[in-house]
Amino acid sequence: MLPRSFVAALAGLLAAAWPGAGAPAPGTARVVLGATNQEQGLRQVDHTPMHVSRVMTMGGRECRATNLGAGTQFALDFDVDDAFLHDVNLPVKVRAEYFDAGRDWFRLRYDSADPTALDRGRSKFSTPVQKADSAATST
């Protein structure tokens, strides 16, 4: 079974898509993060007490962020709707748009069908994304 639940392990901000990013391509699940998330087959999930995102404005756009400063939240959690993707063993492409502020990094942790991965094949990590503090939207 390939990615059904995405956990974004972050050291900063992740927005799955910025508002105004346009309509998703057919067969695409996405979420636009903000005070009220716009969900299309992908949803951002808060779990108390350690995984509760906060709404912020960065680069003039509303988004969701981790709360590292308070030491209480290190990840944003996402879940793919079963109607979109369930019980398949196919490659999945993930694209994340984020506001590039700071020189820290983030990575995605996701469910995997790889039996050599962490948690008996359940968790794998993407290559870390190093931020460059460009004060611009990056993908």
Other beta carbons less than 10 A from residue 1's beta carbon: 13
DSSP secondary structure letter of residue 68 = G
Q: 30 near 40, Cβ under 8 Å?
A: yes
Closest CA to 9 of 126, 138, 131, 139: 126
Angle at alpha carbon of residue 72, lines to 97 and 67, rounded to 5°:
35
The full set of domain ranges for the chain reads: 5-138
Query: Which tens digit of pLDDT belongs to each residue from 89-102?
Result: 777 788 888 889 88
Query: Which tens digit of pLDDT belongs to each residue from 16-59?
Result: 443 445 556 667 888 999 999 999 988 998 887 777 888 999 88
- Tokens 């984020």 -> residue: 98
pLDDT value of position 36: 94
